[in-house]
């Protein structure tokens, strides 16, 4: 019997990279997964790759409250509660001190922090007892990289949210944890380092394992945190960064 058979999951930012890998891992372990993203074409492709019997999609932008309300209304109308929420949607942009604009700050925090706050809050009435909420953080919350101060601050905020929410929801037996990837082979990373291959190569060479993470390596940790194998883990942050934040 698959570990997550009979469970229902919601994954945001699910059209590519870590979000898609998490959705695939959850579906492979038996969960039915609602994929959320902004591109309908990409969502259709993602669901086709997983299989319509294990996944469906809802096009939505996590920075828009009306979209989040629609997501939860659609899920509620199916008669399903939620056993798993992987709040993954986020962005990464570089801006060194002296070049940080209010637009950069606002966009980063509205997406990375606000998107997670209001995704989880919208899903809260649907969460079943024993549900697992997984937030996507980053090893950047403890590892300094020039130009990423606003991004790192947003991911540090996510770590704090997980601690507080774990304490608030413990009486409902709902667990809240953070998966914190390091540099991962995703389309977003390629865009971030477009034209700066030497910089990415240098960061990769400095990592203890001398390579980037594969999205499925992060996805498998998401599935673990969603499973009964992690029922005594809450308020924690699990780094998936090849040791980069640890030594």
How far apart CA 106 and CA 217 sit, in angstroms, is: 31
Give the Cα separation of 82 and 126 in Å (integer). 5
Per the rule left: phi > 0, alpha: psi between -120 and 50, beta: everything else, 66 is alpha
* Cα(208)–Cα(60) distance, integer angstroms: 38
**Tokens standing for residue 210:** 């001398």
CA pair distance 145, 155, nearest whole angstrom: 13
Strands 82-87 and 127-136: parallel
The 3-state secondary structure of 39-94 reads CHHHHHHHHHHHCCCCEEEEECCCCCHHHHHHHHHHHHHCCCCEEEEEECCCCCCC
What's the token pair of residue 132? 């697992």
Catalytic one among 151, 173, 190, 210?
Answer: 151
Set 32, 155, 173, 239: catalytic member? 155
Q: pLDDT by residue for the chain (247 residues), tens digit each?
A: 689 999 999 999 999 999 999 999 999 999 999 999 999 999 999 999 999 999 999 999 999 999 999 999 999 999 989 999 999 999 999 999 999 999 999 999 999 999 999 999 999 999 999 999 999 999 999 988 889 999 999 999 999 999 999 999 999 999 999 999 999 999 888 888 887 778 888 888 988 999 999 999 999 999 999 999 999 999 999 999 999 998 8
Instruction: Tell me the domains of the chain and their CATH numbers.
Output: 8-187+215-237 (3.40.50.720)
Question: Is residue 57 flagged as an active site residue?
Answer: no
> Which residue is associated with the tokens 């902004």?
38
Q: How many angstroms separate the first and last alpha carbons of the chain? A: 38
pLDDT digits (tens, 9 = 90+) for 113-168: 999 999 999 999 999 999 999 999 999 999 888 899 999 999 999 999 999 999 99
**What's this model's pTM, rounded to 2 decimal places?**
0.96
């Amino acid at each position: 019997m698959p570990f997550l058979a009979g469970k229902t999951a919601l994954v945001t930012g699910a059209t590519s990279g870590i979000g898609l890998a998490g959705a695939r891992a959850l579906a492979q372990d038996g969960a039915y997964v609602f994929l959320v993203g902004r591109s309908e074409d990409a969502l259709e492709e993602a669901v086709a790759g997983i299989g319509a019997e294990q996944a469906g999609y809802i096009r939505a932008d996590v920075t828009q409250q009306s979209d989040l309300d629609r997501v939860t209304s659609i899920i509620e109308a199916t008669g399903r509660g939620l056993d798993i929420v992987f709040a993954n949607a986020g962005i990464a942009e570089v801006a060194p001190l002296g070049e940080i604009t209010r637009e950069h700050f606002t966009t980063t925090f509205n997406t990375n922090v606000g998107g997670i706050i209001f995704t989880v809050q919208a899903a809260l009435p649907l969460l079943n007892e024993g549900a697992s909420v997984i937030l996507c953080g980053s090893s950047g919350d403890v590892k300094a990289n020039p130009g990423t101060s606003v991004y790192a601050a947003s991911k540090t905020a996510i770590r704090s949210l997980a601690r507080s929410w774990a304490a608030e929801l413990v009486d409902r037996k709902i667990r809240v944890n953070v998966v914190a990837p390091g540099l991962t082979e995703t389309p977003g990373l390629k865009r971030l380092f477009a034209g700066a291959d030497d910089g990415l190569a240098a960061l990769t060479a400095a990592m203890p394992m001398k390579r980037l993470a594969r999205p499925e390596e992060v996805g498998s940790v998401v599935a673990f945190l969603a499973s009964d194998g992690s029922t005594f883990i809450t308020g924690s942050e699990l780094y998936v960064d090849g040791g980069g934040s640890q030594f």
